[in-house]
Amino acid sequence: MQHDPALPFKLDIESAAVWMDGLSVTNTRECCRVLYPALRSLNGSSVEPRLRFTILERCRLTVTRLEKGLVPYFLDKPFPLDGKTRKIASLCSRFHSELASGYRQVVEAETFAETFDAHEQALIFRRAFESYASCLLRTAQIYEAHPLSSWSSVFDLFQLAEQRGLSNAVQSYEISGAVSVALFFKVILLFGIAVPGTLGQRDMQRLYDFLVARAESVKIESSPVSNGTRAVLSFDLTVAGTIMPVPAPAPVDKPGLRFLFMDRLLNELRGEIRMHGKPEENPLTLILPRLGGRLPHQPELTARSAAVSFGIDAIAITVRLVERRRVGGAARDPWSNLEQLELAPLSTESRSEILGSKSTGTFAAALVSGAGGKDDSPGTGFRDMRSVKVYRSELPGFYIVDSGGQVFRVGDLISLNTDDEIIQVGVVRGGQIHNGQFCYSVELIGNQPCSVLFLGEPPGGRPQNALMFLGSGGLVIPSVKLRGGDTIFVEQRNAKKAFRVAKVLESNGNFCHVALTTAEEPASFG
C-alpha cells in the first residue's frame, strides 16, 4: 500500500505505532494539534480494514487520555464560550466524531466479513456506536446541536448490524461482564430524546452514566407487545431519527418499525432520582416523560378544549392573527382573566387560582368548529386549527393532550390556544392511555410568544418565521445549524436587533430552540 502524503506515518502498523508512541499526551494542546488532522487524514485515505481498525484502536486510547485535559475548558464555564475556547472545547466531540467515522468505514468495507471473526465484528460495531454516543455527550455539554446527518449514520449502522445478525450479539468482559453490541445505540437513542441541552453539564453526565449502566434493560423488538408489556416508544429504521409514541392499537405492518420497552429502565431512573433528595427538585425528573414515562394527572370532571396549531409557520400565523384581533378589540392585561383561562401558565404564582378554573372551553370549541363566514366569527382566520382535549398534569410544565386522532411524533412543535389571547407552545414528548384514549405528553417551552422574523449571519438570506418568548424563554427558529456565540438577527415590526446564541437547548428536524444573549450581556454559566 502506497504512502499517503497527508498522513504523518507510513501505512503500516509499525510506522503508525512508532508515531503514536511519540505523541506527548501530557501536552494536551500540542498532541491535539497533530493527532486531530492525522485522524481526519486517515479517514480520507484508502486503508485496508485490518490496518485501519488497529490504528483506530490506538487513537481511541490516546483520545480517552486527551479528554481529561480538554474537559476543563468547557465544564462549569460561562456560555457562550469565546471563539478560541469554543474551538478547543469542541475538540472532544470532533475527536469522537472522527473515530465513529473511521469505525464505520471498517464495518462498511467489502471485505469486513472475511477479514474479521464474529467477536471482532461485534467489537467494531460497538466501538462505532460508543464513539457516536461520546460525541453526542460532548456536543451537548457545550450546548450545541448534534448534526442531523449523524442520526442518519447511527440508524444506518444499526440497520447494518441487524442485517449481519450482530444487533443482539453479546460480548463478555472480566470487569464489565456481558455487554451487547446495541448498548450504545440505546444510549444514543435515549440520551437524544431526553433533550440534554435543557440540563446542566453535570446533570448531563449523570444521565449519560446512568444510561450506560442501565440501558441494557431496554429491549428493542419488532412487535409492540412483548411478554404482556406494551412498548412506549418506537422508531422507524427507514426514516432516521423519527421517534414515535406507540398508539393503541399500534401499527404492526411496517418492516422497519422497532419498539422500545423501557418500563424497567424508567423504574430504575425513578429510584435513582429518589436517592438524591426530593424528586420535584431534581432536574432528571423532567427526563421521565421525555423517555415515555406516564404523566401523573389531576382528576377533572371534563377535559379542557383547546385549538392546536402544528409547526413554526402555523403557530406564527396564529400568533399574528390573535394579536390583530386583540389590538382590534379592547386591550386587556394578558393575565387579567385567569378565571377563564383553561391552561395553567408555565410558571406563575397564580397557578393555584387557575387550578380552580370553571372554564368549559367554549371559545376553543367555537374556534375550530365555527363556520368562519362572518368577520366576527371565532373561526375567522383559524380554519387550519384542530380541536384537542387537554388534561392537566401534576408535573409542572406538562399537559396530557387527547389529539382526537391527529398523529404527532416525538419532537413535534405545537401551540395550544383556548381563549383567543394566551397561546402556549410545547413539544410532544411521549404518549399514554388516559380515560381509555391514547393521549400525548406535551412539555411547555413558553407562554405568549411573539411572532418575529429570523435572519442568520450575514442577514442576507430569506427571513423565516420564528417565535420569541419574553424573559428566559429564548427563541424558536426553523432547524438550522448554529453554534454558541453565533450572531443572529431578529426582526419585529420592521426593527432588527442582533443577538448572540448562548446555548442551543434543543434541535431536531422540526425546530431549533436557543437561549440568547445580547452583545452587551455577560455569558451565563451552564
Report pLDDT digits (tens) over 368-404.
443 333 333 333 334 456 788 888 888 888 999 998 8
Exposure class string for 482-499: b at 16+ Cβ within 10 A, else e: bbbbbebbbeeeeeeeeb
Residue 291 and residue 232: Cα distance in Å, rounded? 9
Where are the extended beta strands (E) located within 183-230?
219-221, 225-226, 229-230
Residue range 298-305: mean pLDDT, rounded = 69
Residue 244 and residue 167: Cα distance in Å, rounded? 21
pLDDT given at position 276: 82
The model's pLDDT over 186-225, given as tens digits with 9 standing for 90+, comes to 999 999 999 999 999 999 999 999 999 999 999 999 888 8
What's the whole-model pTM score?
0.87
Between CA 184 and CA 189, with CA 188 as vertex, the angle to 5 degrees is: 115
- State the pLDDT confidence band at 3, using cuts at 50, 70 and 90: low
Element at 206 (helix H, strand E): helix 201-214
The model's pLDDT over 52-70, given as tens digits with 9 standing for 90+, comes to 999 999 999 999 999 988 9
Mean pLDDT for the chain overall: 82
pLDDT over 90 percentage in the chain: 43
CA separation (Å) from 278 to 189, 194, 208, 265, 346? 27, 20, 21, 20, 21
Is pLDDT of 362 > 80? no
pLDDT given at position 380: 34
Is pLDDT of 511 > 50? yes
As beta bridge partners, residue 379 has: none
145: amino acid identity, one letter:
A
pLDDT given at position 249: 74
Backbone angles phi, psi at 517, to 5 degrees: -145, 150
Is pLDDT of 256 > 60? yes
Residue range 430-445: mean pLDDT, rounded = 89
Q: Which three cell numbers stand for residue 208?
A: 449519560
Residue range 26-54: mean pLDDT, rounded = 91
Is pLDDT of 346 > 60? no
Backbone angles phi, psi at 318, to 5 degrees: -60, -45
- State the pLDDT confidence band at 150, using cuts at 50, 70 and 90: confident
pLDDT given at position 360: 42
> Within 10 Å of residue 274's Cβ, how many Cβ atoms?
12
pLDDT given at position 299: 67
Between 357 and 321, where is the model more confident?
Answer: 321
In degrees to the nearest 10, what's the CA dihedral of 441, 447, 452, 453? -30
Q: Which three cell numbers stand for residue 97?
A: 466524531
Residue range 113-123: mean pLDDT, rounded = 92
CA separation (Å) from 471 to 414, 416, 445, 468, 475? 20, 20, 12, 10, 11
pLDDT given at position 241: 67
Is pLDDT of 364 > 60? no
Is pLDDT of 347 > 60? no
